[in-house]
Structure 1
Amino acid sequence: MYNYYFALASKNFFLNEEPVEEILRERTQYYQSKNKKIDFWFVLNPSFIDFSELNMSYINYGASYAAIISLDKKFIQWFKLRVGFVTIGEFQSNSLFIPPA
């Protein structure tokens, strides 16, 4: 069983209001310098997240969503502190997440 952690916000927030691309690029470079496998993904419209279990105070209802998903809980907690207006949560899966090519 794999434990996944995520930060969820509107697609607009992640793509236009916060420097998410820069944060993820820096994180990727850090992982490469440490020869560490990438364990985080940026996902648009994550249908596998159960919205009923989340604190949706930062979420704009009716918006398209995006999520940063990771196997590293500390990264998601740091990301929430860095970016601020996101909802975080977790879920489990029997399979390893492999993003579409």
Structure 2
Amino acid sequence: MYNYYFAIASKDFFLHQEPIEEILRERTHYYQSLNKEVDFWFTIKPQFIYCLDNTKYDFGVFESSAAIVSLDEYFIKWLKLRIGFVYIGSFQSKSIFLPD
């Protein structure tokens, strides 16, 4: 079973209000310097949100959403501190995540 952690917000927030491209590029370079495989993905309109406990999340917010999904819980927690206005959470899957 794979544990996934995510930061989710509107697509507009990630693409136009925050320097997410720069953050992910820096993270990729950091992983390369450690010879570590990239374990995060950026996806628009993530379908996994419909499998989550709908009592925890307001899905109306996610209609035009984007998400950063990772196997690294601490990376997602760091993102929450770094960019602030995101929902974070987790889910489990029997298979590896494949972005849209």
Which runs of no fewer than 5 residues in structure 2 stay unpaired?
none
**Number of the residue aligned with 1:22:** 22
TM-score, with normalisation over the residues of structure 1?
0.88
Q: Output the amino acid matched with 2:78.
A: W
Matches for 1:14-93 after TM superposition, within 5 Å: 14-49=14-49, 50=52, 52-56=54-58, 61=61, 63-93=63-93
Does residue 8 (structure 1) correspond to residue 8 (structure 2)? The answer is yes
TM-score, with normalisation over the residues of structure 2?
0.88
Q: In 2, are the aligned partners of 1:9 and 1:85 still within 8 Å (CA)?
A: yes
Q: Output the amino acid matched with 2:46.
A: P
Report runs of 4+ in structure 1 exceeding 2 Å deviation. 53-56, 59-63
Q: Output the amino acid matched with 1:91.
A: F
**How many angstroms apart in 1 are the aligned matches of 2:55 and 2:27?**
28
Q: Output the amino acid matched with 2:54.
A: S
Q: Output the amino acid matched with 2:82.
A: R
**How many angstroms apart in 1 are the aligned matches of 2:62 and 2:34?**
40
SS across alignment from 1:48: helix
Give the CA RMSD over aligned residues.
Answer: 1.9
Deviation of 1:47 after TM superposition, in Å, equals 1.2
C-alpha offsets along residues 50-92 of structure 1, whole Å, 9 cap, x if unaligned? 2724454xx8737510000000000000000000000000000
**Number of residue pairs aligned between Structure 1 and Structure 2:** 98
SS across alignment from 1:61: helix
Q: In 2, are the aligned partners of 1:54 and 1:89 still within 8 Å (CA)?
A: no
Query: Residues 53, 30 of structure 1: CA spacing in aligned structure 2 closer, same or farther, 3 A cutoff?
Result: farther
Q: In 1, are the aligned partners of 2:5 and 2:88 still within 8 Å (CA)?
A: yes
